[in-house]
Amino acid sequence: MTELRAMRRNNMSKQEKFRLEGEDMREDRELRGYVISSIAQKVSKINADDILNGRPSTRQETDAPKALEGRTSGNAQWIRARGEGGQSTPNPQDPRNQHPR
């Protein structure tokens, strides 16, 4: 990252480089804070008996993120109008289903 930054900032003024270095330091400090917070949270969930006995932690994580839900379609009327109901019913609005009478 340092090499890339140096290459990208090669032709910048000293003032601009100084400003960007300040932003880099703030971003680095923020990232380290997130990493430390995450580690501290995980460590706080470790059971001391499990460490002493060489077993992995048996505690359930209650604040683990829930599985993301898949995309849901619209209401039944919307599904029928798009022909997505799983049945082979033609969509009356689809120009491919317009047959001359």
Structural domain contains residue 26: yes
Number of domains observed in the structure of the chain: 1
On whether residue 13 sits in a domain, the answer given is yes
pLDDT single digits (tens) 27-50: 999 999 999 999 998 888 888 777
Residue 40 lies in a domain: yes
Rounded Cα distance between 80 and 55, Å, is 54
Residue 78 lies in a domain: no
Structural domain includes residue 90? no
Residue-range definition of the domain harbouring residue 40 = 1-57
In a domain, 11, yes or no: yes
Band (pLDDT 50/70/90 cuts) for residue 57 is: low
| Neighbouring residues of 91: CB distance < 8 A, sequence distance ≥ 6 | 81, 82, 83, 97
Please name the helix (run of DSSP H) or strand (run of DSSP E) that holds residue 78, with its range, or none: helix 76-81
Of 43, 49, 42, 6, the residue nearest 24 (C-alpha): 6
pLDDT of residue 71: 61
pTM above threshold 0.85: no
